[in-house]
Structure 1
Amino acid sequence: MVERNVTPRRGRGGRERILAAATALFEAQGINATGMEEVAARAPVSKRTLYIHFPTKDELVVAYLRHLAEAGLTIESALDRQDLTPRERLLELFTVSGNGTGPIRGCPFVDAAAEFPDPDSPAHAYTREQKRRFTRRVVELVSELGAADPDLLGEQLAILADGAASRAMVLNDPACGRHARAAAEALLDAATA
């Protein structure tokens, strides 16, 4: 028996165009300020096509966040750089890029959690798991450095990185990363001495 595709596909690449449009709009104006009709118009796809790919905005937001993580477009990607030592990877978390074309947006996961405050919503749940994964990755790296209590230091560095990203966004000042980096260096030095 041959299964029929009951979901019609309108044109190739509709999903990718929707994600690209959502990414541009979410980064420019925020998630809650962006309507699904606006995403469809920017893609450009029909609202029907948009809802075939993403039946709810929550699903679109999770796909957007997953795309950012998988494409290495978040600060967490620094933890996987093989051209840096473990210490350098950790300190790279505190590089806040101000691209000069718009405001600093901070961490997209923190932004999404703030815009979807219900901890049971799919978007909030996804951001929570990403933050846990991020902390586990930081713990792995501080373990490689021989930290006395890698779980504690990993949590401290994760909190510091999130705080630096949030403060840089609120103040629209990439210098916040430099200040947090100095604190991270002090924590690393004390824990690995």
Structure 2
Amino acid sequence: MTESHPVRRRRGRGARERILKAATQLFTAQGINATGMDQLSTVAEVSKRTLYTHFPSKDELVEAYLQSLVDDLLPASPSSAQPTPSLREQLLGVFDWELPQTTAPFRGCPFLNVGVEVPDPGHSTHQLAAAYKREFARRLTDIARRAGAADPETLGEQLALLFDGAAARGTVLNSSDTGACARSIAESLVDAALADADPASL
């Protein structure tokens, strides 16, 4: 069968990386439900056979896409290999969004977006997004505990909820300014929670 819009395919290694790059581009711009495998193979410049060789189903591709974002989006775990900001700044830093230079609509948090697009809580993709959100709050709680917060679990959950609210509102309003507003609220929460902490721990 002759394709009406032939796909320019690239030979050689790197097909998986091109597929993930195309998935990130398309899922970010238009969502996962609006992105088909035909479009993905075209943008990635691979055949459908190659696409399904690397990712036998769309669900597996979505999960690989989410996994590729985890390390960049989660609050960093402690590391002796490189200097880190103060504990207070680590808590607030999650609201300092690094935005790509683009005129595309603001898309907020990809894990929230996937949770909305795949609403079944029993679906593996939804469960992956939920696990990320739990880990996000857990890491904030861990930082709050090391900083000496009186109730680190509450502070971690408050900051996680504030982050999600800012991301969701920013998506609806197509504005990244919600991050700065959320940070100002977070400063009040963090400073109140750390009021009795040892200054040396901050």
Post-superposition CA distance 1:92-125 (Å, at most 9, x none): 1112345342111100100111111111112101
Determine the structure 2 residue equivalent to 1:158: 160
The structural deviation recorded for 1:162 is 1.0
Residue 7 (structure 1) aligns with:
none
Map 1:92-111 to 2 at 5 A: 92-98=93-99, 99-111=101-113
Segments of 5+ residues of structure 2 without an aligned counterpart are 1-10, 196-202
Match of residue 124 from structure 2? 122
Match of 1:175 in 2: 177
Paired with 1:173 and 1:154, the residues of 2 have a C-alpha distance of 25
Are residues 124 and 82 of structure 1, via their aligned partners in 2, closer, same or farther at CA, if it must alter by over 3 Å?
A: farther
- SS of the aligned residue for 1:112 comes to helix
Q: Is the 8 A contact 2:33 2:117 kept in 1?
A: yes
Scaled by the length of structure 2, the TM-score of the pair is 0.83
Q: Do 1:106 and 1:169's aligned partners in 2 also have CA atoms closer than 8 Å? A: yes
1:97, 1:174 within 8 Å by CA — same for their partners in 2? no
Secondary structure of the structure 2 residue equivalent to 1:84: coil
Matched AA of 2:23: A
DSSP 3-state at the match of 2:96? coil
Give the Cα–Cα distance (whole angstroms) in 2 for the partners of residues 100 and 107 of structure 1.
16
Task: Please state whether the residue corresponding to 1:31 is helix, strand or coil.
Answer: coil
In the TM superposition, residue 40 of structure 1 has moved relative to its aligned partner by: 0.7
Q: CA deviation at 1:83?
A: 3.3
Structure 1: gaps spanning 5 or more residues = 1-9
**In 2, Cα distance between the equivalents of 1:145 and 1:13?**
43
Superposition misfits of 4+ residues, deviation over 3 angstroms = 77-83, 96-100
* Cα 1:67–1:96 shift into 2, 3 Å: same
Q: Deviations over 1:37-64 (max 9, x none)?
A: 1001111111111112111111111100
Partner of 2:148: helix, strand, or coil?
coil
Aligned to 1:21: 22
| Root-mean-square deviation over aligned CA pairs | 1.8
Match of 1:12 in 2: 13
Secondary structure of 2:90's aligned partner: helix
Counterpart residue number, 1:59: 60
Residue identity (%) = 53
**Cα deviation digits, residues 107-165 of structure 1 (max 9, x gap):** 01001111111111121011111111111100011011111111111111110011111
Counterpart-to-counterpart distance in 2, 1:139 and 1:57? 34
Match of 1:6 in 2: none
Cross-structure match for 1:87: 88
Task: Describe how 1:24-35 pairs up with structure 2 within 5 A.
Answer: 24-35=25-36
- The residue aligned with 1:47 is 48
Across the two proteins, how many residue pairs are aligned to each other? 181
Which whole-Å CA distance do the structure 2 matches of 1:94 and 1:79 have between them? 17
**CA positional deviation for 1:68:** 1.4
